[in-house]
Structure 1
């Protein structure tokens, strides 16, 4: 568990050590997030073609359903006039 320290009570060498630790922590975090971004970018590139194909299929299904609905509506309108 982290302990709280009053920064005004630290000596110069302690402050320099603290700064070094903080700098290292920042560098580690930057490295971690760079690796995470690279990983996610690769995953997006892998799934993008499949998503594009699914989107195209969805659009085709929507178009076919729209045509069928128009045909049914026209048939019902023709039947009600007769």
Structure 2
């Protein structure tokens, strides 16, 4: 069963409470999403590590309930750089 956008956002916010999370359904099928996550937890972290934190927050749902996630992450101070 596909995941709802608010469920994805909720999982991310549970792991990163300060995060600003924006989710878009790319294909209208509930399987292909784009997520933008801005969190102070990402400060000083390489992008790969930021993505790992988000994927960990999703608790292994990638490839199952959640087929595809295009991910963009940023720390608040680097958001406009």
TM-score, with structure 1 as normaliser: 0.22
TM-score, with structure 2 as normaliser: 0.22
Larger proportion of helix: 1
Larger proportion of strand: 2
- Kindly indicate whether structure 1 or structure 2 has the higher relative contact order, using CA contacts under 8 Å at least 6 residues apart: 2
